[in-house]
């Protein structure tokens, strides 16, 4: 790893939960000696990538990153940041992959990609996703703003016999997503479709939307579910990275625990 790479890697240790880091703490996090870490921080400070707070001597992200982030956001739209990951997801799972974007209290469809491996495919033909009846919507309720749940319960339309139509039913589904890290649409929007979704995050550190796979229910098995979940994680990490974010450690831990418990997945399929 080059000296420049080592210096730039220090930027990844800053987050919304850890916006300021002192020299000694940075040494422990990065696993480097004090002299090397200080030299790298000095280089980053000279470039404007970090700045030192005079009162505490701790470091925080610098103003140069704001300009770069604005350029990135202006030149690489959200849709472009998701397309390649969706294509890979559809190819790996053999099912339809799609991404959604949360704006205010509305979950919009961003883009989708159908797999060429089957002639029968799930078709995504909606612009706004019901929060209570789709895997992506349940991810939004579990990891998005708290007020979303209050919005969702005002319109619990029954799309199928599996749709949650009471606040208690919806809260149970949302709690399951919070415990596993995966949203599940168990034929809740369309009887012929089984959905799985995971959250994605952007540069703000907050929930930005979801990436999902819509499977034809007749070929959905426990084995396919395990494969989809693994591929969803890969796609979520890539889209989140392209959107300037980082997957929270707590979400990564949920995914790991869920994938390490195949019995649970088999019982819910």
Q: pTM (2 decimals)?
A: 0.72
What average pLDDT does the structure give for the chain?
Answer: 90
Half-sphere exposure of 234 (CA within 13 A, CB side): 18
Give the model's confidence band at 70: pLDDT under 50 very low, under 70 low, under 90 confident, else very high.
Answer: confident
Tokens of 62: 């610098």
Least confident of 147-151, 221-225, 257-261: 257-261
Give the model's confidence band at 121: pLDDT under 50 very low, under 70 low, under 90 confident, else very high.
Answer: confident
| pLDDT of res. 1 | 63
| pLDDT of res. 267 | 40
Q: Under the phi-then-psi rule, with left for phi > 0, alpha for psi from -120 to 50, and beta for the rest, what region is 165?
A: alpha
Query: Tell me: the pLDDT tens digits for 36-54?
Result: 999 999 999 999 999 999 9
CA–CA distance, 117 with 223 (Å, rounded to integer): 17
Structural domains of the chain sorted by starting position, each given as residue range(s) with its CATH number in brackets: 3-67 (1.10.10.10), 76-268 (3.30.450.40)
pLDDT (mean) for 69-97: 86
What is the b/e burial string over 80-108, where b = at least 16 CB atoms within 10 angstroms of the residue's CB?
A: ebbbebbebbbebbbbbbbbbbbeeeebe
pLDDT (mean) for 76-94: 90
| pLDDT of res. 119 | 78
| pLDDT of res. 127 | 82
- Cα–Cα distances in Å, from 165 out to 149, 155, 260? 13, 9, 32
- Cα–Cα distances in Å, from 142 out to 100, 198, 202, 217, 267? 15, 10, 16, 24, 22
Q: Provide the 10 A C-beta neighbour count for residue 180.
A: 21
CA–CA distance, 141 with 128 (Å, rounded to integer): 15
Q: Is pLDDT above 70 for 221?
A: yes
Half-sphere exposure of 217 (CA within 13 A, CB side): 11
């Amino acid at each position: 790893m080059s000296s420049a790479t080592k210096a730039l890697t220090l930027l990844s240790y800053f987050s919304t939960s850890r916006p300021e880091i002192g020299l000694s703490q940075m040494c422990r996090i990065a696993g480097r000696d004090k002299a090397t870490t200080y030299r790298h921080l000095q280089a980053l400070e000279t470039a404007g990538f970090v700045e030192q707070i005079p009162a505490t001597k701790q470091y925080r992200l610098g103003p140069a990153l704001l300009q770069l982030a604005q350029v990135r956001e202006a030149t690489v739209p959200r849709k472009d940041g998701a397309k390649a990951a969706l294509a890979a997801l559809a190819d790996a799972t053999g099912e339809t992959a799609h991404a959604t974007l949360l704006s205010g209290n509305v979950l919009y469809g961003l883009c989708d990609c159908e797999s060429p491996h089957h002639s029968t495919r799930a078709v995504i033909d909606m612009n706004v996703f019901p929060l209570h009846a789709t895997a992506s919507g349940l991810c939004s309720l579990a990891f998005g703003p708290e007020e979303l749940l209050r919005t969702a319960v005002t319109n619990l339309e029954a799309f199928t016999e599996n749709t949650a139509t009471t606040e208690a039913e919806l809260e149970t589904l949302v709690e399951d997503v919070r415990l596993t890290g995966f949203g599940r649409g168990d034929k809740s929007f369309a009887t012929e479709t089984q959905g799985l979704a995971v959250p994605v995050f952007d540069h703000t550190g907050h929930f930005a939307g979801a990436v999902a796979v819509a499977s034809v229910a007749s070929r959905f098995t426990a084995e396919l579910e395990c494969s989809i979940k693994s591929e969803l994680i890969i796609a979520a990490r890539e889209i989140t990275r392209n959107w300037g974010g980082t997957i929270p450690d707590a979400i990564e831990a949920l995914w790991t625990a869920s994938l390490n418990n195949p019995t649970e997945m088999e019982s819910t399929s």
